[in-house]
Amino acid sequence: MFDTFDNSGSRRLVAETCGALNAHCLHLGVNADYGEVKWNENYRVPGDVVEGNACDYPLARNVLLFTVAIGGEVALRFLLRGEKENYSFTLGDLGINREA
């Protein structure tokens, strides 16, 4: 399952349901210049911190596309090798961080 909701309430419901069912769930989320791709076991639901429309951020499309690209790679690695990788990144420093 993939979670790409844009609000904390929906994300929390998906995370809790997948946890209760022991289902695999990959969460993809963005906020301003920050993105993350995390499996349910490592995911913490963020608060709704963006005021107004998150898409008004000038580089929102870039952050979104980058998140989708990383999410696609993570999903393929899981399907092919059974690996669960978690990543976060920022456009500010172009840093991609692999997390435990």
Write the CATH number for 46: 3.40.50.720
Q: What percent of the chain has pLDDT over 90?
A: 50
Q: How confident is the model at residue 51 (pLDDT cuts 50, 70, 90)?
A: low
Name the average pLDDT for the chain: 86
- Identify the domain containing residue 8 by its residue range: 2-99
Which pLDDT tens digit goes with each residue over 36-50? 999 999 998 887 655
Distance CA 13, CA 93 (A): 32
Parallel/antiparallel/unpaired status of strands 26-31 and 2-3: parallel
Number of domains in the chain: 1
Instruction: Look up residue 38 and give its DSSP letter.
Output: E
Instruction: Look up residue 52 and give its DSSP letter.
Output: S
